[in-house]
Amino acid sequence: MMTHYHLFLLCQIKLTTWLLLIATVSITPSHAVPRRGPYDEKPRYGNPITEIKYASPSCRAHVSSLTEFGGVGDGTTLNTDAFRSAVEHLSQYSSTGGGMLYVPAGKWLTGPFNLTSCFTLFLDKDATILATQDVNQWPLIDPLPSYGRGRDKPGGRYSSLIGGANLTDVVITGDNGTIDGQGASWWQKFHKNQLKYTRGYLIELLYSDRILISNLTLVNSPAWNIHPVYSSNIVVSSITILAPVHSPNTDGINPDSCSQVRIEDCYVVSGDDCVAIKSGWDQYGISYGMPSQHIVIRRLTCISPTSAVIALGSEMSGGIQDVRAEDITAINSESGVRIKTAPGRGAYVKDVYVRGMNLNTMKWAFWMTGNYKSHPDDKYDPNAMPEVTSISYSNVVATQVTTAARLEGIPNDAFTGICISNVTVGMAKSKKYAWTCTDVEGVSSDVSPQPCEPLQGKHEGSCPFPTESLPIDTVEFQQCSYTLP
Residues recognised as catalytic: 272
Q: CA 244, CA 85: separation in Å to the nearest integer?
A: 34
For residue 404, the surrounding DSSP H or E stretch is: strand 387-408
Q: By C-alpha distance, which of 60, 197, 65, 75 is closest to 132?
A: 75
Q: By C-alpha distance, which of 44, 53, 51 is closest to 73?
A: 44
Backbone angles phi, psi at 216, to 5 degrees: -140, 160
SS3 (DSSP) at 193: coil
Do residues 440 and 414 make contact, with C-beta atoms less than 8 angstroms apart?
yes
HSE toward the beta carbon, residue 169, CA cutoff 13 A: 30
Q: CA 462, CA 259: separation in Å to the nearest integer?
A: 27
Q: 128-152 as b/e, with b when 16 or more CB fall inside 10 Å?
A: bbbbbeebebbeebebbebbbbbbb
Q: CA 338, CA 213: separation in Å to the nearest integer?
A: 25
Do residues 299 and 327 make contact, with C-beta atoms less than 8 angstroms apart?
yes
Q: CA 159, CA 200: separation in Å to the nearest integer?
A: 5
Q: CA 84, CA 139: separation in Å to the nearest integer?
A: 14
Measured in whole angstroms, how far is the alpha carbon of residue 144 from the centre of its chain?
A: 17
Strand segments, DSSP code E, in 270-317 are 275-277, 292-303, 308-312
Backbone angles phi, psi at 483, to 5 degrees: -95, 120
Q: CA 355, CA 210: separation in Å to the nearest integer?
A: 27
